[in-house]
A = this chain, B = another copy of it.
Amino acid sequence: MSSSSTAPGRDAKARAADAKPPMREALVAAAFQLFLERGYEQTTVDDIVALAGVGRRSFFRYFPSKEDVVFPDHERCLADMTAFLAAGTGDEEPVGRVCDAARLVLGLYAENPAFSVQRYRLTKKVPGLRAYELSVVWRYERALAEYLRARFASRRDGNLRADVIAAAVVAAHNNALRSWLRSDGQGDATAAMDHALGLVQSAFGTAPPPPADERPEDVVVVVSRRGAPLWRVVQEIESTLARD
């Protein structure tokens, strides 16, 4: 670079002024600008650092890989979610708790709708980024599953239930999130999320998805068509009640 040899001090000062939230943001901005105007794979790391006016080595100081620049706040988001799970008093209903954790993550996405939508468009068309996103989402799923495993430790099939419920919650979250992203961040993300998580809670929650404040009594309904044998009906009731 020519200017750096003539007046390095000025350059450094100018850079420091631009990058108050240091250089990281500048790299993200430069990267997304190039990704959007010429595509992810057509953009090299050298292109990014050239636009950002920094050294190539600095890029890899802030982002372990080229993919990571697409998910700049992933670590913070994951940390927030695990902190939320750890912050509980321990007597919450576990499935409801992980659903709330999912809502929290959605909230973080919804903080920057424009950015989230841009990233969604990128990950949708670049296979490499889709693959990377999977490993990102996987860590959320593992965090949820670990929380549930601890809460279900005493339960029969506790680990299995934990894995399945975590996967279901993540799938519901992704379904709602993606439909919101597809609408360019218009529409009510929270409502869609509540609806999706309601399905999961109705399937797995110890409490159903209902109004919850008006719970009359326990209800057992048995409908048996065309003369089922009594032992079969009893068996069904027993196995259902034993589920708890």
Q: How far is the CA of A232 from the CA of B207 in the complex (A)?
A: 13
Of B196, B221, B228, which one neighbours A233 at CB under 8 angstroms? Answer: B221
- A21 contacts the other chain (Cβ, under 8 Å)? no
Chain A 137-181, CB within 8 Å of chain B: the 1/0 string?
Answer: 010000000000000000001011101101110111011100000
Q: Is A33 interfacial (CB 8 A cutoff)?
A: no
Give the CA-CA distance A59 to B167 in the complex, in Å: 36
Which one of B138, B164, B221, B244 lies within 8 Å of A224 (CB-CB)? B221
A240 located at the interface, meaning its Cβ lies under 8 Å from any Cβ of chain B in the complex = yes
Cβ of A188 within 8 Å of any chain B Cβ, yes or no, is no
A63, CB-defined interface residue at 8 Å: no
With a cutoff of 8 Å between Cβ atoms, the chain B residues found around residue A221 in the complex are 222-224, 233, 236-237, 240
In this assembly, does A135 line the interface, its C-beta being within 8 Å of a C-beta of chain B? Answer: yes
* Oligomer: number of copies: 2
Q: Which residues of B contact A228 (CB under 8 A)?
A: 208, 210, 216-219
Interface size on A, residues (CB 8 A): 59
With a CB–CB cut-off of 8 A, which chain B residues contact A229?
Answer: 210-211, 214-217
- Neighbouring B residues of A233 by C-beta, 8 Å: 219, 221
The binding surface of chain A is classed by DSSP as helix
Q: Nearest-CB distance from A194 to chain B (Å)?
A: 12
Contact residues of A between 201 and 216, Cβ < 8 Å to B: 202-204, 206-208, 210-211, 214-216
A227 to B217, CA, bound (A): 4
A238's nearest neighbour on chain B, judged by CB, is B223
Q: Are B175 and A168 neighbours in the complex by a CB distance under 8 Å?
A: no
Give A209 to B221 CA distance when docked, in angstroms: 19
Interface residues of A in 35-51 (CB under 8 A from B): none
With the chains together, A131 CA to B163 CA distance in Å? Answer: 18
Instruction: Report chain B residues within 8 Å CB of A168.
Output: 164, 167-168, 171
6 contacts between A and B (CB under 8 A): A164-B172, A164-B175, A167-B170, A219-B224, A220-B224, A221-B223
